[in-house]
Structure 1
Amino acid sequence: MSAVTYHGPPDTNGSSNGSNNGNSPELYVYYRVHMDQAAEAKAAFETACAGQPVRLLQRRDHDPVFQTWMEIYAPPLTDAIGVEARVAAALGPYAQGPRHREVFAALAGPVGGA
């Protein structure tokens, strides 16, 4: 299993309260996946998420060997730490190097009208 690096204050209860009042933390996890394993890794991610609202992004670059992926765990997800642990275990065989974990909290809401 790959190592995890963590940046940000620890979440004391392992979950958000479901509201996004500017204080609910958002967890961002990024790592690299070999191109040859991308389809298997994506299937493992989807199975491990079990329908939870976790976003998976791919960095837009042109590396011919590796893709950099980012998972985003944000409200309304109420057990980000638990879901992320499940995803980390499922993707351990596919992550090339460490999974970098960073926690952010909103400073302001969306700008402009919707």
Structure 2
Amino acid sequence: MSAVTDHGPPGTAGTPEASSPELYVYYRVHMDQAAAARAAFETTCAGQPVRLLQRRDHDPVFQTWMEIYAPPLNDAIGVEARVAAALAPFAQGPRHREVFAALAGPVGGG
């Protein structure tokens, strides 16, 4: 079972006073388990607007993945908890959680 490291300030995620918080979670997956881990992610997130990214590096053994939970997802904390449970057998080391809130809108939006 993987541990979760939470770097968000208390009371920011999932609270009404938080201005559209976004949750970022990153962790490592062994290359040999990447296909099974991705299938578990896709099954668990079916229909939810959760992004999955892979860091562009050249590690021959591990991939670093990042999940992004952002608006319009209503229950980011609940969805992330379900994903964490589904990916627990695949995460190598802790899942690092960080919460951010927007300071400004998109640049160049018009």
Same fold (TM over 0.5): yes
Quote how far apart the aligned CAs of 1:10 are: 3.1
Alignment-derived partner of residue 8 in structure 1: 8
Matches within 5 A, 1:56-75: 56-75=52-71
Matches within 5 A, 1:18-29: 23-29=19-25
TM-score, scaled to structure 1 = 0.89
Supply the AA of the counterpart residue of 1:94: F
Match of 1:107 among 100, 103, 109: 103
TM-score, scaled to structure 2 = 0.92
Q: CA RMSD in A?
A: 1.9
Q: Secondary structure at 2:81's aligned position in 1?
A: helix
Q: Which runs of 5+ in 1 are unaligned?
A: none
Do the aligned residues in 2 keep the contact of 1:55 with 1:73 (CA within 8 Å)? yes
Match of 1:55 among 44, 47, 51: 51
- The percentage of aligned residue pairs carrying the same residue is 86
Distance 1:66 1:4 in 2: 18
Q: Which runs of 5+ in 2 are unaligned?
A: none
Aligned CA distance change for structure 1 residues 111 and 32 (closer, same or farther; 3 Å): same
Supply the AA of the counterpart residue of 1:30: Y
Alignment: residue pair count: 110
Do the aligned residues in 1 keep the contact of 2:49 with 2:73 (CA within 8 Å)? yes
